[in-house]
Amino acid sequence: MAEPDYLLIRRKQMNSEGEWEYECSVCKNWLPKLKFRGCKTYVDAYGNCLMCSSCRSKLARQKGEDNTREEVDKILTKLGFYEFPNQEAYMEHIMKKYSKK
């Protein structure tokens, strides 16, 4: 899988205090190097992180939500939930199926 274009280049500049700032390749904000540490996945050829910690956190949270949604869909499909027109019809089916006689 090829990397998206926004993850290929790391730009830097000096701020007004004479310290280096780096541009996040996702949000395009200029931030100190401290905001780019701890990155292992989104790095350039020299090992420099291309995405700020805030954007990495957002991406991880989104992936987690997507994975959770996929798992819930798998479970509901196996339970037959999607075979009914609405939730009430499914609940009636379950109550009839598992009610004690």
Q: Average pLDDT by consecutive 10-residue portion of the chain (101 residues)?
A: 61 89 91 88 84 92 94 91 88 85 60
- Which pLDDT value is given to residue 6? 55
- Which pLDDT value is given to residue 7? 57
- Which pLDDT value is given to residue 101? 60
- Which pLDDT value is given to residue 43? 86
Q: Are 9 and 25 in contact (CB under 8 A)?
A: yes
Q: Are 22 and 30 in contact (CB under 8 A)?
A: yes
Predicted TM-score (pTM) of the model is 0.65
